Amino acid sequence: MPIIKSAKKRVKIAAKANARNTRTRRNMREAIKAFNKALEAGKSIEVSKLQQAAVSAIDTAAKKNVIHKNRAARSKARLASQAKAAGVKPAKASPKKAAAKPAAKKTAAKKSAAKKTTKK
């Protein structure tokens, strides 16, 4: 057990971080297991929804540095290939990205040629 005050604080902080990381890792594993169960059952509608949930959980774990980003990419690729092999079509992208910003009009105002003045 630490004696120094700052070391005691680090023990508390590490315990909180450990609990948070464990929860994130557990959510990711549960999402992947649910996806695999739906895949085995052959429910294509549920598979696409659970794939999105699993990808989201994997991204969250990678963002919080619970898993490495390359492991996250590999896991997501495996999920996608399993879903494709099962004949599930990939979900369409959300319409939020397409209609996020309306196209701005460019003004056709031309700058007049500036007269150069020379000192004589």
Judge whether residue 101 has pLDDT over 70: no
CB burial of 28-49 (b: ≥16 within 10 Å; e: otherwise) equals: beebbebbeebbeeeeeebbbe
Cα distance between residue 71 and residue 80, in whole Å: 14
pLDDT, mean over the chain: 85
Judge whether residue 92 has pLDDT over 60: yes
Judge whether residue 111 has pLDDT over 70: no
- Compute the average pLDDT of residues 75-100: 78
Express each pLDDT in 36-47 by its tens digit: 999 999 888 899
Question: Structural domain boundaries of the chain?
Answer: 5-88
pLDDT given at position 83:
93
Does 1.20.58.110 match the CATH number of domain 5-88? yes
Express each pLDDT in 4-61 by its tens digit: 999 999 999 999 999 999 999 999 999 999 999 999 998 888 999 999 999 999 999 9
CB burial of 52-74 (b: ≥16 within 10 Å; e: otherwise) equals: ebbbebbbbbbeeebbeeeebee
pTM beyond cutoff 0.75: no
